[in-house]
Amino acid sequence: MQWQFIVALVIAIPIILFPAAFVWYLNVGGIYAAIKEARERKAARETRVRAAAEAEQHLGAAVAKAQPVERETVGTKH
């Protein structure tokens, strides 16, 4: 091969490959961001569910310990 052809290849190959590598980099970055965001949403959802379950459990225990409420019968005849 002639040296001019080799120089042309050395110059042309990076010019051709750079846009493809850049698009690949953007795709990988977008996929990574989507996975990270999904993990954060899942962790927040699990935290909310856990807090709701604990609150429900605490409320259920408080209701079980409470004394029964006597209801007044106002305006009714027995």
Q: What is the pTM of this model?
A: 0.54
Domain annotation covers residue 68: no
Q: Exposed, middle or buried by CB within 10 Å (0-12, 13-18, 19+), for 15?
A: exposed
Q: How many CA atoms lie within 13 A of 28 on its CB side?
A: 6
Domain annotation covers residue 28: yes
Query: Which range marks the domain in which residue 55 is found?
Result: 18-63
- Number of domains forming the structure of the chain: 1
Domain annotation covers residue 12: no
Domain annotation covers residue 1: no
Domain annotation covers residue 74: no
- In tens, the pLDDT along 7-61 reads 999 999 999 999 999 999 999 999 999 999 999 999 999 999 998 888 888 776 6
Cα separation, 34 vs 28, in Å, equals 10
Percentages helix, strand, coil for the chain (3-state, rounded to 5) are: 80, 0, 20
| Beta strand residue intervals within 27-66, DSSP E | none
